[in-house]
Chain A
Amino acid sequence: MSTRLTRGGRLIDRTAAVEFSFNGKRMRGFHGDTLAAALLANDQMLVGRSFKYHRPRGIVASGPEEPNALVNLGSGARLEPNQRATTTELFDGLECTSQNHWPSLEFDVGVVNNHVSRFLPAGFYYKTFIHPRPFWKHVFEPIIRRSAGLGKAPTQPDPDRYEQAYAFCDVLVIGAGVAGLKVAKAAADAGQRVILLEQSPTLGGRAPVDQTEVDGQPVETWLSAMEADLAARDNVTIRTRTCGFGVYDHGYVLADERVADHTPGDGRPKHRLWRIRAGRIVSATGAIERPLSFAGNDIPGVMLASAVRDYVVNYAVSPGDRTVIVTNNDSAYQTALALKAAGLDVPAILDAREAADGALPQAARAAGIRVLTGKAIARVKGTKRVTGVAICAQAGEGAVQEEIACEAVAMSGGWSPVVHLFSHCGGKLLWDETISAFIPDPARPPLNHDGSAMVECVGAAAGDLDLTGTPVAIPPVWVMPQGAPIQLRSKMWLDYQNDVKVSDVELASREGYVSVEHTKRYTTLGMATDQGKLSNINGLSVLAETLGQEIPQVGTTTFRPPYTPVTIGALAGEARGEIFQPLRKTPMHAAHEKAGAYFEPVGLWRRPYCFPRPGETHEQAVHREVLNTRQNLGLLDASTLGKIIVKGPDAGKFLDMLYTGVMSTLPVGKCRYGLMCNEQGFLIDDGVVARIDEDTWLCHTTSGGADRIHAWMEDWLQCEWWDWQVYTANVTEQYAQVAVVGPNARKLLQVLGGMDVSKEALPFMHWADGTLAGLPARVYRISFSGELSYEIAVPASHGAAFWAACTQAGKALGAMPYGTEALHIMRAEKGFIMIGDETDGTVIPQDLGLDWAISKKKADYLGKRGQERTFLASPDRWKLVGFETLDGSVIPDGAYVIAEGVNANGQRNTQGRVTSTYYSPTLKRGIAMGLLKHGPARMGEVVEFNTVAGGTVKARVRDTVFYDKDGEKQNV
C-alpha cells in the first residue's frame, strides 16, 4: 500500500495538517501537498475509471501531464470537473470526487466494456454508428453523449471572480527550473525587463529532486541564492502558479495565473489571465517522462519513475514497500536510489538495454540493487492495484522467466522535451536519434515581424536532458517486449485517458490510416484533456513502426494552445454580469428605468421599447403610446440619433458626394432629408441634414449608424480626398435629444418658454437656436411621425433636467413618453422607410421609390456608378409598395409574396417580400410595406403572402402612405 513516510518531504509542512475528502471519505494531508500526494499518502491508489473501458486507474504522474487522476473538485456552484490531482494544491476542507464510474468507483458497471473490448476497436464509433443515417441524431448521439465525458459540468453560476491583466517585457522566460532561472538572471544582468513564469508554486523545476549540485553548489543553496537575487531586482517579475499556455504572433503570450485556487472563497480573483507582449520568449519548459508500453501498464501502482521520486522526495510518500523499476535509460536509476534512501525496497531494475554501465547504474548496483539488463515486463499482475510483475527478455515475445511480487512499478521510456510553446506559432522540430525525441530545430523557429526567432528553447526543452553536460543516450523502446503478440499489445496502453492501446494504432494503420493527424482522430489518441502529453510520441512511434517508416517522416500532430486546459472564467475575465459588454445609456436612462420602461437593444444602446403601465401588455402600451401621440402629445428620447458636424470650405462638395441629394445648396437655418449609398449603390444610411452656417453642416445618422458613418466620412477624407478642406466631429453624445410630437407639441414648447416656435418663426424643415426651460437648445422642426413635431437638442449634462421639464409641463397637455415600437408604427403609417427594415444591403434608393431624393443634376455621388449597372437599373427589380390585407390581419414578419410554380429546389417561387408590417392602432387594421416585382405598376392588384402557420393571406397593393397623405398634420 502507498503511505506517508515518517521522515523527509521537502515541500510539506508536517506541523500544518489539512483535512480533505475524496468520494466522501475523510482524509488527512499536510500543507504543501498536492491532492495526488495526499491521496497516495492515504493509500488511495485507485482514483478513477478510464473513458471507454472503465478500467481502474491510478495516479501516473506528478505534474500537468497526468492523464488519470482527474477529479470533480468542490461542489455546488464551485464544482470544477477534470481537475488534475497532481497540480491541485491541497487546502483545508477540499472536497473531491472521482469521475466516470457508476454506481461507484470500486464497483463500476461500465467495466463490462473492458471485457468486450475486442468489440470496441479503433474507429468503433465511425464504423458502428454510420447507418442508418437518421439514427445518429436521435439514437446514437444522445446515448454516446450521456456515457461520454469524464467530469460533470457545474449547473450553477460561478461565484468566483476572474480578471485579466496586460504585461510587457523584453524577455519572457516560461519555466523556472535551473535553465529558466539562469536565462532570467542573465537577461536581468543585461538590464532587460524580465518576466519569469512558473506553473507550480515553487521554483527550481526538477533540480531539487534530480540533482545534488548546480554549478558546484548544493542544489538548495544555489536555488535560494538565485531566488533571493532575482526577487531583489526591480527589472524582474516572478509569477508562480502561472502557466504560460499559448504563444501567438508578434511575441504575444497568454498565461493563466491560479491566484486563489488553493484559497477558495477568500475574495481574491480565482484566476488571472495575463496577456503578455514580449520582445523575446524563452521556453524553459523542461521535458516530460514517457511511459513504456508493456501489458498492464495502466494498472494502479504503475507510475512514471520521475513521479515516484517526486512523491518520495517532495512529499515523503511511499508508493509501496516494493517498487520494481523498468527503464530504457539511466534517469530511472535515480528513482531506485531515492527509494533506497527512504528505506524502501527495490526488488529489481529491469533495463531494456543490453548493457547499463553509467554512473547511476553503477551506483544502484553499489547500493545492492539487482539490475537486470535486456529485460522487460511481460505483464503486470493485479487489477485494482499492482501485485507483481512477470519478467521476460526484451528481445523476445514475452515468455515469462520470473515473477517478482511488488506494490508499484516505476517506468521510464525516455523523455520528451516540452516543445509545445516553440511549436504553437510554427516552430519546426527535429528528431534526435540520441535521445529518441523531437527537439526544437533552432534553424527553423517561429518568427517575429523582423524574421528573428520569436521563441527559443533552453535546457531540457531544447533536448539538453542532463544539465550537468553529460551526454545522455536513450535508445528507442516503443513496445515491450519487442516481439509481443497481439494478446499483450492489446493490453498496452498508449493513451490512458482515452483508452487507446498499441493494438488500436496498429489496426488503424492496417486499415489505411497513414497520416498521423488522421490516426489521431480515428483512434482518439491524444484527444483527451491531457492532449496526449504522455501518449503522442509513443503512439506515433508505434504508427511509424507499423508503417515501416522513419519517425520524422510520420511527424507529430499539431501543437495548439492551450498547453494545459484553461478555465472559461479566466478567458472571459471581467466580462460577465453587468459588464459583460458595454451598455450605452442616454442621459435620460435612469428616468426611463424609473418610469418602468421595457428596453430593447439598439446597437449597444438600450432604448425604451415602450413604457407599459401596470396591467398593460407591451402591445397595449405601444398602441396607447401611438394613439396618445397622434391625439395629444408624445415624448421620445431620440438622443441615440447620430450627430456629425462637417465643416470646411469643401464641406458642401463633400456632402454632395456622400449624399444622393444636394446638400451644398441647403440654406443656413434649413433641414433636408438625405440618403447615403456605398460605392456599389446600395442604401446604407439616411437622416436629416441641417445647415448650421456658411461652412458647417450637421448630419443626423441612424442610431446604429453614427460610428460607422463617421468612420466612413473619415475614410474618404483621409484616404481618397485628402486634399479637400473638411473636418468632421462626431458629437452624438454631446446632446440629449427629445422629440416632442403631436397636436400639443407647440403648446408644450410655449409652456417651457424661451423662444418663438410658431409656424411663422420656425416653419417645417427649419431649425433655430434658442432657450427652452432655461436651457440652451437647438430646435429642429422635423417629423418622423407625420405629426406636428420638434426635435430639441440640449447639452447632455442637462438632458435629464430637460426630459423632466417636458414630462412635468406636459402633464396638462396629455404628454406620455413613447418608445421605439410606437416610433416604428407611426413612421410606417406615414410610409417612411427604416434603414435595416426596408434596406438589407441589397436595396438601392430607387427600389424604395426615393428617386426624388436623388439628384439628377450632380455629376457624381457615391453609388451613382453602381446604380447604373444593368442589374440595379433593371425595370424588373422588386420595388416598394404598401399592402393592405383584405381581412385586416397583420402579415407575418418576413413573409414572401408567392408566385406561380416552384424553383429548381422545389421551393415555391416568389415575387416580393414584406419589409415592415404592423397593426396600426390609428387605422385599426394591419398595414405593411414591402418590395414587389413591378410593384408601383400593380396598384389595386391582390397578391398572396405565405404565413408562418401555413396557408396564405391575401393583400391589396397600394401606395405606402397610410396616414395623412397630404401632410396636413405636420404642417400646422
Chain B
Amino acid sequence: MSEPVSALNGASFQGFATIREIGPLGMITLRAKGLKSLDKAVKAVTGTKLPAQRRIEIKGDRACGWMSPDEYLLILPYAEVGAALAKIAKALAGEHHLAVDVSDARAVFRIEGDRADQVLRKLMPVDFDWLEPGELRRSRAAQVAAAIWQQDQGFTLVCFRSVASYVMGLLTHSAQPGSEL
C-alpha cells in the first residue's frame, strides 16, 4: 500500500513565524450525547477525559476536542484509526452514536514562533488575548472554516483538505517578514 499523502505533502514557510503543514493525522468525528459509556469510549481511544465546552484535552499525540454539544473530534496516530473505530463501536454498541474517519478530509498546520499568534490575528476574528491554553476555537481563517488550539509553544490549525493550498497562501501572506503587528 502506498503511504498516505497529506494535502500539501508537508509544505512549509519560514517568515516571522514558522508555518508547517503536518499530517496526515488520524481524526475521528464522534457524534453522541449523554451516553453512559461515552467517557469510556473516548478514554479508550485518546486516553483523555471528555472535554468541557470549547475545550480540548491533549495527551501526547492524542487529543479529544469539543466541537458542538453532540460532536467531538478525536485525534490519534493515522494508522490507528481503524482499530479506534472498532473500539468505539464496541464501547458504544447498541447506543445511538456516529463515529467516522475524517483523517483524510482535513489539512493540519502548525504555526510556531514567538509571534505565531500574530499570523492568526490577521486571519481569524478571534480574541487571542483571551484564548486559554486548552481552548479549542472553531472560527474561520479569512474565507474558510478553521479550528485552532494552542499546543507546544505554537498553534495547531485544522481546515478542510480541499482548501489547504488557500490556507497555506493565507498563512504565508500573514507571516511575511516585516509585517509583524
Contact = CB atoms under 8 A, between A and B. Distances in A.
B144 A733 contact: no
A193 B1 CA distance: 55
Nearest to A650: B96
Interface stretch (A200-208, A209-217, A794-802, A951-959): A794-802
A605 B178 contact: no
A167 B100 CA distance: 37
Interface in A723-777: 725, 727-729, 731-735, 774-775
A574 interface: yes
A168 B127 contact: yes
B24 interface: yes
A585 B165 CA distance: 8
Contacts of B166: 579, 582-583
A649 interface: yes
Contacts of B161: 587, 733, 796
Interface string A546-579: 0000000000000000000000000000110011
A734 B102 contact: yes
B88 interface: no
A266 interface: yes
Contacts of A731: 100, 102, 105
A800 B123 CA distance: 30
A649 B103 CA distance: 26
A600 to B, nearest CB: 16
A647 B105 contact: no
A166 interface: yes
A775 B2 contact: yes
Contacts of A647: 98
A19 interface: no
Contacts of B87: none
Given A585-B165, A733-B162, A796-B105, A648 B98 contact: yes
A494 to B, nearest CB: 42
Interface in A330-344: none
Interface in B102-131: 102-106, 121-127, 129-130
A164 interface: yes
B82 to A, nearest CB: 9
A166 B4 CA distance: 36
B179 A269 contact: yes
A471 to B, nearest CB: 42
A605 B162 CA distance: 8
Given A275-B125, A578-B169, A731-B102, A268 B179 contact: yes
A518 interface: no
A645 B98 contact: yes
B153 interface: no
B170 interface: yes
Interface string B18-31: 00000010000101
Nearest to B130: A168
Interface in B5-29: 5-7, 24, 29
Contact of A729 (B100, B122, B174): B100
Interface string A796-833: 11101100000000000000000000000000000000
Contact of A797 (B104, B129, B174): B104
A134 interface: no
Contacts of A128: none
B62 interface: no
Interface string A592-616: 0000000000001100000000000
Contacts, number: 132
Contacts of B83: none
Contacts of A583: 163, 165-166
B52 interface: no
Contacts of B32: 727
A164 B163 CA distance: 20
- Which of A165, A266, A583 has its CB near the most chain B CB atoms (within 10 A)? A165
Given A727-B96, A733-B160, A166 B121 contact: yes
B5 A800 contact: yes
B24 to A, nearest CB: 5
A652 B72 CA distance: 24
A163 interface: yes
B44 interface: no
Contact of B170 (A275, A574, A587, A725): A574
A267 interface: yes
Contact of B174 (A574, A727, A734): A574
Contacts of B6: 797
Nearest to B143: A582
A405 to B, nearest CB: 53
Nearest to A774: B1
A272 to B, nearest CB: 8
Contacts of B96: 648-649, 725, 727
A729 B176 CA distance: 37
Contacts of B29: 729
A236 to B, nearest CB: 13
B179 A774 contact: no
Contacts of A587: 5, 7, 161
B43 interface: no
Interface in B132-181: 142-144, 160-166, 169-170, 173-174, 176-179, 181
Contacts of A795: 4, 101, 103-104
B122 A164 contact: yes
B75 to A, nearest CB: 15
A645 to B, nearest CB: 6
Contacts of A735: 104
Interface in A256-313: 259, 266-269, 272, 275, 277
Contacts of A798: 1-2, 4-5, 104
A796 B104 contact: yes
B40 interface: no
A649 B12 CA distance: 45
Given A575-B143, A586-B162, A733-B160, A165 B181 contact: yes
Contact of A801 (B5, B103, B165): B5
B121 A585 contact: no
A166 B125 contact: yes
A574 B167 CA distance: 12
4 tightest Cβ-Cβ pairs between the two chains A and B: A797-B4, A727-B98, A584-B162, A796-B104
Given A163-B173, A727-B70, A797-B24, 9 more contacts: A163-B179, A168-B129, A574-B122, A582-B142, A585-B162, A585-B165, A645-B100, A729-B100, A733-B160
17 contacts: A161-B173, A165-B122, A166-B125, A168-B127, A277-B127, A579-B142, A584-B160, A604-B163, A727-B31, A727-B70, A729-B100, A733-B106, A734-B101, A734-B103, A734-B104, A774-B2, A795-B103
